[in-house]
Chains A and B, each alone.
Chain A
Amino acid sequence: MIYTVGRLKRTAGALASGTAADLNQNEPSSEPTPTEQTVQSGISLSGVSKSYPVNGEMIPVLKNINLDIQQGEFISLVGPSGCGKTTTLRIIADLISPSSGTVLIGGQTPRQARLQRRYGMVFQSAVLYDWRTVIKNVMLPLEIMKLPRQEQLQRAEAMLDMVGLKDYATHYPGQLSGGMQQRVGIARALALKPDILLMDEPFSALDEFTREKLHEDLLQIWQKTHKTIVFVTHNIAEAVYLSDRVCVMSPHPGRISNIIEIGLPRPRNPQAKTSATFSAYVNLVRSSFEGV
C-alpha cells in the first residue's frame, strides 16, 4: 500500500455517511492516473528518492515518491517533521535535485519551470525585504524579470488589492503584523503570475485566528486564479480544510503513506470544520501515518 498510493481514491458516496470506518475502506480507483499529455501545469513525480550522506553513509530522506498533481488542484503534503514533505516541495521548486526519479512540471523539468517562473514560492516566514516598502517587495520578482516599470506597478497594485493590502503599499514590512506580512509574501509570489504556488508551512508561525482568516483568503485567491497549489503543513485540520487531496507522508525514510481525496463541498466555509465528515477526514489522515 505504501508505495502504490496515488491510486487510492475515495468516492463521494462513502463520504456522505461520514464515518471514519467508511473512509477507511481502500477502494482502488477505476479512473486512470493522469498522464503528462493531459497535464498542462500539473506536476508529476515518479520514483523520486533523495538521500544525503551522513558520516559516509547514504541516509534516505525520501523513498520512491510517486505523485500526480493535477492542474488547478489544491494538494497538501502533511506529515510529522522528517517525513520529507518540505524536501519534496524543494525538489519540485528545483531548490534541490532528487537522487533518482523524475519530476515533470507540465512536461518540463523543474529547472525549466523555475527559469520560466512557472511557480511562486511562499515560505514559513514571509521573507520580506525590510528595506523595501510593501509594494516594492511585491515588485521585486518583476524587477528581476525586467518588466517595464509601469507594468511592475500595475501588477503589484493588483496583487496587493487581491490580498487586501492596497492601503499598506507604502508601509515598511516592520510596520505590519505577521499575518499581513505573510499576505505580502503571497502577493509577491502571485505577482509572477505563476501557474503553480508552492507553499512551505506558510501559516504555521501565525496565531490561530490569523491563520483561519488567511485560510479563507487563500481559498478565495485559489478560486479566482485557478492556480495549482502544493501546500506543505503539519496541521492536519488545515490540510483537510483547504485541500482537494491530502497526501499523508511518514518518516524514516520519507514516503507517501496515503493519499486521501477530500470530498467536502466547495466553496468551503468555516462551518465545515465542525461537521462529522470533517472530523472523519481528520481521523482518517491521522490514522494513515505510519511509524510515528
Chain B
Amino acid sequence: MKKQLKSQYQAKPGIKSLKQSKWPVTLVWVAGLILIWELAAIEVAQTKRTPQNILPHLYQILAAAFSGKKVTNNLTATQVVLINAASTLLRAGEGFIMGVAFGYLLALLMSLSKIAEKIAFPYLMLIQMIPILGMAPIVLSITGDINRSRIVIAAILTFYPIAANCLAGFKAVEPQKHELMYSYGANKFQLYTKTMIPATWPYFFTGLKISAPLAITASILVDTLQGGGGLGSMLSQSLKHAMSIYVFWLIIFFIAFIGMFSFYLMGVLEAVLCPYRKWEKGGNEA
C-alpha cells in the first residue's frame, strides 16, 4: 500500500512508468486467481453433486449478484448483502473507533508510567490469546445485549494492535530527541505534544491498517452467534440453506473487498495526514 503510493508520487511518463507501475503486477495476480478458481470450479462441477455449495463458477456468482430473483422476504441476494452489511459495518465501525481510542490512550498511559505498562501488558497479551468465539459468550453475558457485545468484541480486537504498535512507537523515539527536549527545558506536556505523540503516528497507522479489517471480521463472526441481522447471520443462514447459497458467496466476496478497502482507506488517510511519510529515511537524495 505504502509502496503503491510512493510509486504514484515518483511516477515518470513513458515506458519507465509502466515498469514502475504496480498495475501489470496486479493484473497478472488477479488473472492468476481467476484462472485457479475456475480450474478448481470445473473440477468440482465434474465430481460433486451440488458444486455451488463447494465452489461455483465465478460467472454464477456474478449472475446471482445481478439477478432479480427474490431469495428472502422480497429481497434479492444483493439487497440482502447490502442491507445486512450496513448494520454489520456500522457496528464494526463503532467498535473500531472505540478500540482505537482506548488502544491509543492505553499506549499513552503505558508510555507515561512504567508501572502501568508492567500491570497492563500481560492482560493485553491474555486478551489476545482468548479466541473470539470463546470471548463472545462472556462479553454477551456481561453486556446482556448482542448488539452491544458485537461492538465490544470489535473494539477488543481493534485495540490490541493499536496499543501494541503505539507503545512501540513511543519507545522508538531516539534518546537524542529526549535529550534535545531536556536541553530546551521542555516540560512533560511539551515533550509529549511536540515529540512523543507525533512520533507515534506512523506506528498508529500501521496499527490501523492491521485492525480495520480485524474489526470487520470480528463483527461478522459475532453476528453468527445469534440472529438479528448482520452479514454473519445471513452467512450462517445461507450455509444452512435457509436461503440461496449464492448469498454466502456474495458475502464472502463483499467481505474480502471491504477488508481490503478498509486497509486501503487507512493508507490514504496516512498519506493525507502524514505527507512527510513519502520521504522515508534514506529514501531520497536531494
Nearest-Cβ distance from residue A16 to partner chain B, whole angstroms: 41
**A93–B195 CA distance with the chains assembled, in angstroms:** 20
The CB with the most chain A CB atoms within 10 A, among B179, B180, B283, B286, is that of: B180
**A168–B184 CA distance with the chains assembled, in angstroms:** 24
Stretch at the interface among A23-31, A125-133, A156-164, A244-252: A125-133
Q: Are B194 and A121 in contact (CB under 8 A)?
A: no
B263-286: contact bitstring with A at CB < 8 Å (1 yes, 0 no)? 000000000001110111101111
Q: Are B184 and A141 in contact (CB under 8 A)?
A: yes
Which residues on A are within 8 Å of B, measured CB to CB? 93-95, 114-115, 117, 119, 121, 123, 125, 127, 129-132, 140-141, 143-145, 171-177, 180, 192
Other than A171-B286, A192-B184, give 13 A-B pairs with Cβ distance below 8 A. Answer: A114-B185, A127-B174, A127-B177, A129-B198, A140-B184, A144-B186, A144-B190, A172-B276, A174-B281, A175-B279, A175-B286, A176-B286, A177-B285
Nearest-Cβ distance from residue A72 to partner chain B, whole angstroms: 21
Nearest-Cβ distance from residue A173 to partner chain B, whole angstroms: 8
15 inter-chain pairs at a CB distance below 8 angstroms, sorted by A residue, are A95-B179, A114-B183, A114-B185, A115-B185, A121-B183, A127-B176, A127-B177, A129-B195, A130-B276, A132-B198, A144-B181, A172-B275, A174-B280, A174-B281, A175-B279
**Which of chain A's residues has its CB closest to B180's CB?**
A127
- Whether a CB of chain A sits under 8 angstroms from the CB of B254 is no
- Whether a CB of chain A sits under 8 angstroms from the CB of B201 is yes
**A176–B155 CA distance with the chains assembled, in angstroms:** 41
Nearest-Cβ distance from residue A179 to partner chain B, whole angstroms: 10
Q: Are A174 and B278 in contact (CB under 8 A)?
A: yes
**A173–B286 CA distance with the chains assembled, in angstroms:** 10
- List the A side residues contacting B186 at CB < 8 Å: 144
**Which of chain B's residues has its CB closest to A171's CB?**
B286
B193-205: contact bitstring with A at CB < 8 Å (1 yes, 0 no)? 0110011010000
- List the B side residues contacting A115 at CB < 8 Å: 185
- Whether a CB of chain A sits under 8 angstroms from the CB of B182 is yes
- List the A side residues contacting B176 at CB < 8 Å: 123, 125, 127
- List the A side residues contacting B180 at CB < 8 Å: 121, 123, 127
**A171–B174 CA distance with the chains assembled, in angstroms:** 22
**Which of chain A's residues has its CB closest to B285's CB?**
A177
- List the B side residues contacting A130 at CB < 8 Å: 276, 279, 281
- List the A side residues contacting B281 at CB < 8 Å: 130, 174
The 6 closest A-B pairs by CB, nearest first: A174-B279, A172-B276, A144-B184, A127-B176, A144-B186, A141-B184
- List the A side residues contacting B195 at CB < 8 Å: 129
- List the A side residues contacting B182 at CB < 8 Å: 95, 114
**Which of chain A's residues has its CB closest to B278's CB?**
A174
Q: Are A174 and B284 in contact (CB under 8 A)?
A: yes
Query: With A140-B194, A144-B194 in contact, do A175 and B183 touch (Cβ < 8 Å)?
Result: no
- List the B side residues contacting A174 at CB < 8 Å: 276, 278-281, 283-284
**A125–B177 CA distance with the chains assembled, in angstroms:** 11
Query: With A127-B177, A172-B279 in contact, do A117 and B286 touch (Cβ < 8 Å)?
Result: no
**A263–B201 CA distance with the chains assembled, in angstroms:** 51
Q: Are B278 and A145 in contact (CB under 8 A)?
A: no
**Which of chain B's residues has its CB closest to A143's CB?**
B194
- List the A side residues contacting B190 at CB < 8 Å: 144
- List the B side residues contacting A132 at CB < 8 Å: 198, 276
**A132–B25 CA distance with the chains assembled, in angstroms:** 35
Q: Are A119 and B279 in contact (CB under 8 A)?
A: no
Query: With A172-B279, A174-B278 in contact, do A180 and B185 touch (Cβ < 8 Å)?
Result: no
Query: With A125-B176, A171-B286, A177-B286 in contact, do A131 and B194 touch (Cβ < 8 Å)?
Result: no
**Which of chain A's residues has its CB closest to B195's CB?**
A129
Query: With A127-B177, A143-B194 in contact, do A119 and B284 touch (Cβ < 8 Å)?
Result: no
- List the A side residues contacting B185 at CB < 8 Å: 114-115, 117, 144
**A91–B198 CA distance with the chains assembled, in angstroms:** 29
- List the A side residues contacting B284 at CB < 8 Å: 174-175
Nearest-Cβ distance from residue B137 to partner chain A, whole angstroms: 44
- List the B side residues contacting A121 at CB < 8 Å: 179-180, 183
Q: Are A95 and B183 in contact (CB under 8 A)?
A: yes
**Which of chain B's residues has its CB closest to A90's CB?**
B179
Nearest-Cβ distance from residue A22 to partner chain B, whole angstroms: 41
- List the B side residues contacting A119 at CB < 8 Å: 183
Nearest-Cβ distance from residue A210 to partner chain B, whole angstroms: 12
